[in-house]
């Protein structure tokens, strides 16, 4: 099978670029006379001197800037003047960000009267159109996906920074005086920016579908030096590490060969490459450890380049054993991404969801880094303390970790809004409420909520009838409490059997039976209402109930009211130390 040699292709591309640059120099064509600039060519043809470096001392790569999409001439000229004059001080990431913003501005002006070509004629309305265009920028690889608010705000800032540069250096003297930034020219960054990131986490039902098709992973992705079985096992280990450890893709790819610390409580030794913190340890499950151990056994038999010997996942470069490798000595993240994305697409074409519907992964973006967000969100939903999750994620700042809890709050708010439409009282009467009322005018009880004002005000400690909820007019329940109701009914039936066996008084048996009948009636009513919902509404309700189940599982249990005591007055008027229950 023919496989593309990426290293060879890069050499050929560089050779062709050098030939083109030499041809242009021979015929006196300046590097800046075309619409495509190679920034390295702007430093001159002398290769005997040290390569040009940016302000941080790093060598500038072969950065290309294509101005062809900037159709507004004065914007294109300004962009070129900025790069030519400031390239020694421009961070590498700033040029493509500014270019994207200027292209968007140019496209916005194209649709304005005059096309924006005359800088003296542009007005405030033209600038408004530019801001609106940048405000709606989408991903280059997915036109349906809006960029995050932080990214769009960054692009807008780059555009205004470029205008500021033009004014400061006298390049925009002809620009209309009304063409300047106003207070409304901004893009608001969401208070909880992580809510946008939540879209990138892989939901639990998608992970379940992927888990069922592990045999398809890396099935169509060749990897030199590995058999089909070895490649599949390597892909399986990579996926399970992504799913179960939440490490970044480059941290998974660069794991040491002896990264597994075995024992009764196995740990993963890994390196935090982002924050330069090596030799970190992460507790992992015995199942994850077993997958690593299986791959280590296969890895031992592989013949790899000496530079790859210390890594769990070797590079696909074979090279010559007496020469250094041309690339990374371990698996690269682009290969990992290709494997995961291709595998998810293959699974989506073959699998069905729990209702038998095809393409269960439609609308879900699955890529390696998304599993890190999923890992964090699972722990949030399970009620893990923020300090513990910070340690697990190895975040430098706790504010980064808190962002995931903000996502959880938003998800719970949406779930409450859905469930609040299906609230019933003790008689089974439908009493829908708003999310605000659901949260603020009720207090949680073990099998639903209570609306009795005194009990709500006290936080659940002033129940007037001692939690005989099924007989209380203030009792409310909804489908999210169905599991709790089922367990409570089972417990009541067990208690009744125990009471019968111990020859308890009739009123005890009667009380238990009444509670069982009341709660069973509530349960049957809710199930009947759910059966009448459409399929999509049932799915939405199920998702909302699952979210609330996880939230309650991670929260503190609802405290049962403790009996209050009152102190009897002594003959001398002081309070007696002896107490009795406040009946």
State the average pLDDT over residues 535-548.
84
Q: Is residue 33 a part of any domain in this protein?
A: no
Considering the chain, what percentage of its residues have pLDDT values greater than 70?
81
Question: CA separation (Å) from 360 to 251, 286, 342, 417?
Answer: 29, 30, 15, 25
Q: Is the pLDDT of residue 22 over 70?
A: yes
Average pLDDT in the 521-530 region?
Answer: 91
How does residue 70 score in pLDDT terms, banded at 50, 70 and 90?
A: very high
Residue 379 shares a structural domain with residue 436: no
Residue 20 falls within a domain, yes or no?
Answer: no
**Same domain as 145, residue 231:** no
DSSP character for 568?
E
Place 550 in a pLDDT band, splitting at 50, 70 and 90.
Answer: low
Does residue 564 belong to any structural domain of this protein?
no
Are 231 and 217 in contact by the 8 Å Cβ rule? The answer is no
Lowest-confidence range among 96-100, 219-223, 516-520?
A: 219-223
Please, which pLDDT band fits residue 201 given cuts at 50, 70 and 90? Answer: confident
More confident residue, 91 or 499: 499
Task: Tell whether 542 and 439 lie within a shared domain.
Answer: yes
pLDDT at 353: 83
DSSP state string for 247-261:
--HHHHHT-BTT-EE
Which of 231-240, 409-418, 536-545 bottoms out in mean pLDDT, i.e. has the lowest? 409-418
Give 570-580 pLDDT, tens digit per residue. 444 444 433 33
Average pLDDT, the chain: 81
Domain end marker among 362, 381, 407: 407
**What confidence score (pLDDT) does residue 222 get?**
85
Decide if 109 is inside a domain.
yes
Closest-CA residue to 291 (of 352, 346, 244): 244
Q: What is the pLDDT of residue 192?
A: 47
Mean pLDDT of the 355-362 span: 87
In a domain, 365, yes or no: yes
pLDDT category, 219, cuts 50, 70, 90? Answer: confident
In a domain, 367, yes or no: yes
In this predicted structure, what is the pLDDT of residue 457? 76
Mean pLDDT over 33-42 rounds to 73
Same domain as 214, residue 156 = no
The answer to whether residues 273 and 370 belong to one domain is yes
Same domain, 173 and 265: no
Q: Give me the pLDDT at residue 9, please.
A: 67
DSSP 45: S
**Are 388 and 458 found together in one domain?**
no
* Pair (391, 446) in one structural domain: no
349 and 240 in a common domain: yes
Identify whether residues 159 and 88 lie together within a single domain. Answer: yes
Reply yes or no on whether the pLDDT at 61 is more than 70. no
407, 429, 448 - which closes a domain: 407
Nearest 10 degrees: Cα torsion 366, 371, 374, 378: 140
Domain assignment of residue 19, yes or no = no
Q: Is it the case that residue 18 has pLDDT exceeding 80?
A: no
pTM of the predicted model, to two decimals? 0.55
Alpha carbons within 13 A on the beta-carbon side of 300: 6
What is the structure's pLDDT at 77?
Answer: 94
One domain for residues 90 and 167: yes
How many domains does the structure of the chain reveal?
3
* DSSP letters for 44-80: -S--SSPPPB-TTSPBP---EEE-TT--SHHHHHHHH
- Phi and psi at residue 294, in whole multiples of 5°? -60, -45
**Domain-ending residue, one of 161, 189, 217:** 189
| Interval 430-453: pLDDT, tens | 887 776 666 666 777 767 888 888
Higher pLDDT, residue 7 or 477: 477
Rounded mean pLDDT, 100-114: 94
**pLDDT average, residue stretch 512-531:** 91
Domain coverage including residue 271:
204-320+327-407
pLDDT number for residue 99: 94
Check whether 331 has a pLDDT greater than 90: yes
pLDDT band at 321 (very low <50, low <70, confident <90, very high): low
Same domain flag for 399 and 458: no
Residue-by-residue DSSP string for 167-228 = HHTTS-TTS-TT-S--TT---PPPTTTHHHHHTTSPPHHHHHHHHTTGGGTTTT---TT--H
Residue 345: give its domain's CATH number.
1.10.443.10
Q: What local confidence, expressed as pLDDT, does residue 5 receive?
A: 54
Q: Note whether residue 180 is domain-resident.
A: yes
pLDDT band of residue 103 (cuts 50, 70, 90) is very high
Residue range 254-302, pLDDT digits in tens: 999 999 998 889 999 999 988 889 999 999 999 999 999 999 999 998 8
Confidence of residue 48 (pLDDT cuts 50, 70, 90): very low
Write down the pLDDT at residue 197. 52
């Amino acid at each position: 099978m023919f496989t593309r040699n990426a290293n060879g292709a890069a050499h050929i591309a560089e050779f062709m670029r050098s030939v083109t640059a030499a041809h242009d120099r021979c015929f006196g064509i300046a590097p800046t006379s075309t619409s495509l600039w190679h920034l390295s060519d702007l430093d001159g043809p002398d290769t005997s001197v040290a390569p040009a470096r940016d302000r941080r001392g790093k060598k500038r790569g072969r950065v290309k800037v294509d101005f062809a999409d900037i159709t507004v001439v004065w914007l294109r000229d300004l962009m070129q003047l900025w790069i030519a004059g400031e390239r020694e001080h421009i961070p590498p990431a700033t040029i493509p960000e500014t270019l994207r913003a200027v292209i968007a501005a140019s496209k916005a002006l194209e649709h304005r009267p005059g096309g924006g070509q005359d800088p003296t004629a542009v007005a405030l309305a033209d600038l408004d159109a530019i801001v609106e265009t940048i405000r709606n920028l989408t991903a280059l690889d997915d036109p349906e996906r809006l960029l995050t608010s932080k990214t769009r705000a960054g692009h807008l800032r780059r555009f205004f920074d470029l205008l500021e540069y033009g004014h400061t250096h006298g390049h925009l003297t002809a620009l209309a005086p009304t063409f300047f930034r106003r207070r409304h020219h901004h893009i608001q960054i969401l208070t909880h920016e992580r809510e946008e990131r939540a879209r990138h986490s892989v939901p639990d039902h998608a992970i379940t579908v992927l888990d069922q098709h592990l045999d398809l992973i890396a099935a169509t992705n060749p990897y030199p030096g590995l058999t089909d079985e070895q490649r599949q096992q390597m892909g399986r280990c990579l996926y399970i590490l992504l799913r179960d450890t939440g490490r970044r893709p480059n941290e998974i790819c660069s794991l040491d060969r002896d990264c597994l610390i075995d024992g009764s409580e196995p740990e993963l030794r890994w390196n935090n490459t982002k924050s330069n913190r090596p030799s970190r340890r992460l507790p992992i499950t015995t199942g994850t450890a077993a997958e690593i151990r299986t791959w280590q056994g296969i890895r031992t038999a592989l013949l790899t380049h000496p530079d790859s010997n210390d890594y769990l996942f070797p590079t696909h470069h074979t090279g010559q054993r007496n020469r250094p490798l041309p690339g990374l000595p371990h698996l690269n993240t682009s290969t990992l991404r290709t494997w995961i994305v291709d595998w998810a697409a293959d699974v989506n074409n073959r699998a069905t969801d729990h209702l038998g519907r095809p393409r269960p992964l439609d609308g879900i973006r699955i890529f390696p880094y998304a599993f890190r967000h999923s890992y964090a969100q699972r722990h949030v939903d399970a009620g893990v303390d923020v300090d513990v999750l910070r340690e697990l994620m190895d975040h430098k700042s706790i504010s980064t970790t808190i962002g995931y809890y903000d996502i959880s709050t938003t998800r719970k708010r949406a779930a409450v809004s859905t469930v609040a439409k299906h609230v019933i009282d003790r008689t089974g009467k439908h009493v829908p409420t708003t999310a605000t009322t659901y949260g603020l005018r009720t207090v949680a009880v073990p099998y639903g909520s209570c609306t009795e004002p005194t009990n709500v005000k006290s936080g659940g400690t002033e129940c007037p009838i001692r939690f005989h909820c099924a007989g209380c007019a203030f009792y409310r329940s909804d489908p999210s409490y169905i599991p709790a109701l089922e367990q409570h009914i089972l417990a009541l039936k067990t208690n009744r059997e125990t009471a019968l066996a111990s020859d308890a008084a009739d009123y005890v048996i009667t009380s238990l039976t009444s509670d069982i009948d009341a709660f069973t009636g509530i349960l049957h009513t809710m199930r009947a209402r759910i059966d009448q919902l459409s399929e999509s509404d049932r799915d939405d309700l199920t998702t909302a109930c699952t979210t609330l189940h996880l939230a309650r599982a991670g929260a503190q249990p609802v405290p049962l009211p403790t009996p209050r005591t009152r102190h009897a007055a002594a003959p001398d008027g002081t309070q007696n130390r002896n107490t009795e229950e406040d009946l």
